[in-house]
C-alpha cells in the first residue's frame, strides 16, 4: 500500500519545515481565551494582595516548552498582584526550572526580595504522602529552602504552618507526582483551592477534576493554555510566539491523516475490484 511505503522521513522533513517557517516569518494569528484559562486568571486576580500562594514546579526540561511559559506568566501575575509565592517541586528538576524563571524575571521585578516575596523551597520525594505531611506541618517537611537556609530564617515562612496559611495551590504538572496528588490531598483533603497547568498529554485525564465540585479551579492546557494566559496578563512570551508554528504543524498532521485515509480507501476499492 502506498500509505505504508512512503518513507516516513518525508513526513519528518515536512513537519520540521512546517514548524520552523512560522517561527522565522511570524504571522501573528489571533488567540482566543477559554473558560478554564479565564478561571485560573480570575482566581489569581481575586486573591487579596499580601496572601501567600504555592506554585509547585512538577516538571523537567522534557516539558519545558509547554510548562515554562505557564510558570513564567503565573509568577509575573502573582508578582504584579503582590502575592507572596512559595515554590516547591515534586520533581527534582523542577527546582532548576523555577530558578531559571526567577533569574529571568529578577530584572523586571527589582523590588521583589527573595525570602520576603518569594522563596524556592526545593524538591521533596514522596508525592502524595509528602503533600499530606505538608498539610499537617509544612516546616516538618521543609526544614530549609533549596539554598539550605533554615526555614525559621526566611521571613515570609514565619506564619506558614500548613495549607491553612496558603490561599491557593497551582501545580505545573508533567505527570506523576503532580496535579492528581495536589487535588487529592491539598484540594479534597485540606480544602485548599487548587489549580493547574498541565502538558497536552495529560489534559484529558485531568479534565474530570474540573467540575462542579471545584476539585480544580480552571486549567491551563498545554501550549495553547500558556499562550492564552500570556495574552490575559498582557505579557506575550514564547508560548504566544509558538502558536503560529503550532497551527501549521497541526494542519500538516491533519493533511497527512487525510492523505493516509484517501490512500487506504483507494487501495481497498482497488482490491475489491480485483477480487
Partner 1 sequence: MTHFFNVFGIWLGAAFTFAIFSFLYKDNPFYKVAEQIFVGLSAGYWFIYTIFNILIPNLFLPLSTDFAANWIKLIPAFLGVLMLMRLVPNAEWMSRYPIALLIGTTSGLAFLRYLKSDVINQITATMINPFVGNNWVTVVGQILLVVGTITGVIYFYFSKKHEGAFGVSAKIGIYFLMVSFGAAFGYTAMARVSLLIGRLQFLLGDWLGIISP
Partner 2 sequence: MKRRIPLTITLIVGLIVICSEFIPHRPFSQISSELEVWFMIISGFAILLGQLNLIKTNVLKIQYKQRNWPYFVITLASFFLMVGTGALWGSQQNAGLLGHGTAISSAIGSKPFDYLFNNVYQNLQATMFSLLAFFIASAAYRAFIARTTESILLLAAAILVMLGNTSLGTLLTGWLPDSLSFLHLPKVSEFIMKYPTTAGQRAIMIGAGLGIIGSSLRIILGIERSYLGGD
Task: List residues binding partner 1 (CB under 8 A).
Answer: 9, 12, 15-16, 19-20, 23-24, 62-66, 92-93, 95, 122-125, 128-129, 132, 141-144, 146, 148, 183-185, 187-189, 199-201, 203-205, 208-209, 211-213, 215, 221-224, 238, 241-242, 245-246, 249-250, 253
Report the sign of the C-alpha dihedral through residues 63, 163, 99, 81, in that order. positive
- The least distance separating partner 1 from the CB of residue 92, rounded to whole angstroms, comes to 4
Q: Which residue number, 40 or 167, has a Cβ lying nearer to partner 2?
A: 40
Which of 24, 25, 30, 274 is close enough to bind partner 2 by CB under 8 A?
30
For residue 150, list its beta bridge partners: 144
If we measure between CA atoms, which residue out of 131, 134, 120, 104 comes closest to residue 57? 120
Q: Which residue number, 56 or 199, has a Cβ lying nearer to partner 1?
A: 199
- The least distance separating partner 2 from the CB of residue 182, rounded to whole angstroms, comes to 16
Q: Which residue number, 165 or 246, has a Cβ lying nearer to partner 2?
A: 246
The single-letter DSSP state of residue 92 is T
Residue 147 as a binder of partner 2 (CB under 8 A): the answer is yes
Q: 3-class SS at 112?
A: coil
Q: Pairing mode, if any, of strands 168-173 and 84-89? A: unpaired
In the numeric block, which cell numbers belong to residue 220? Answer: 491551563
Q: Which residue number, 204 or 261, has a Cβ lying nearer to partner 1?
A: 204
Can you spell out the DSSP letters for 144-167? B-TT--BGGG-GGGTT--SGGG-S
Which of 110, 111, 208, 272 is close enough to bind partner 2 by CB under 8 A?
208
Question: Which positions ≥6 away from 163 have C-beta within 8 Å?
Answer: 134, 135, 138, 169, 186, 190, 191, 192
- The least distance separating partner 2 from the CB of residue 52, rounded to whole angstroms, comes to 22
Q: Which residue number, 59 or 118, has a Cβ lying nearer to partner 1?
A: 59
Amino acid at each position: 500500500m502506498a500509505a505504508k511505503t512512503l518513507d516516513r522521513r518525508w513526513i519528518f522533513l515536512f513537519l520540521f519545515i512546517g514548524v520552523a517557517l512560522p517561527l522565522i516569518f511570524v504571522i501573528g494569528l489571533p488567540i482566543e481565551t477559554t473558560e478554564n484559562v479565564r478561571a485560573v486568571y480570575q482566581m489569581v486576580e481575586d486573591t487579596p494582595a499580601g496572601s501567600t500562594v504555592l506554585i509547585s514546579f512538577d516538571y523537567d526540561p522534557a516539558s519545558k516548552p509547554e510548562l515554562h511559559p505557564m510558570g513564567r506568566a503565573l509568577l509575573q501575575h502573582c508578582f504584579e498582584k503582590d502575592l507572596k509565592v512559595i515554590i516547591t517541586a515534586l520533581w527534582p528538576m523542577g527546582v532548576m526550572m523555577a530558578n531559571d524563571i526567577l533569574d529571568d524575571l529578577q530584572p523586571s521585578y527589582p523590588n521583589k526580595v527573595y525570602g520576603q516575596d518569594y522563596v524556592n523551597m526545593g524538591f521533596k520525594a514522596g508525592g502524595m504522602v509528602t503533600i499530606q505531611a505538608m498539610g499537617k506541618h509544612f516546616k516538618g517537611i521543609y526544614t530549609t529552602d533549596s539554598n539550605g537556609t533554615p526555614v525559621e530564617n526566611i521571613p515570609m515562612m514565619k506564619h506558614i504552618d500548613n495549607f491553612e496559611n496558603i490561599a491557593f495551590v497551582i501545580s505545573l504538572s508533567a505527570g506523576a507526582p503532580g496535579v492528581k496528588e495536589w487535588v487529592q490531598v491539598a484540594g479534597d483533603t485540606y480544602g485548599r483551592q487548587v489549580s493547574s497547568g498541565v502538558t497536552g498529554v495529560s489534559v484529558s485525564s485531568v479534565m474530570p477534576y474540573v467540575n462542579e465540585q471545584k476539585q480544580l479551579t480552571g486549567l491551563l492546557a498545554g501550549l495553547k493554555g500558556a499562550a492564552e494566559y500570556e495574552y490575559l496578563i498582557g505579557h506575550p512570551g514564547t508560548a504566544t510566539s509558538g502558536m503560529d508554528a503550532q497551527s501549521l504543524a497541526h494542519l500538516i498532521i491533519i493533511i497527512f491523516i487525510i492523505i493516509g485515509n484517501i490512500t487506504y480507501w483507494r487501495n481497498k476499492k482497488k482490491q475489491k475490484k480485483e477480487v
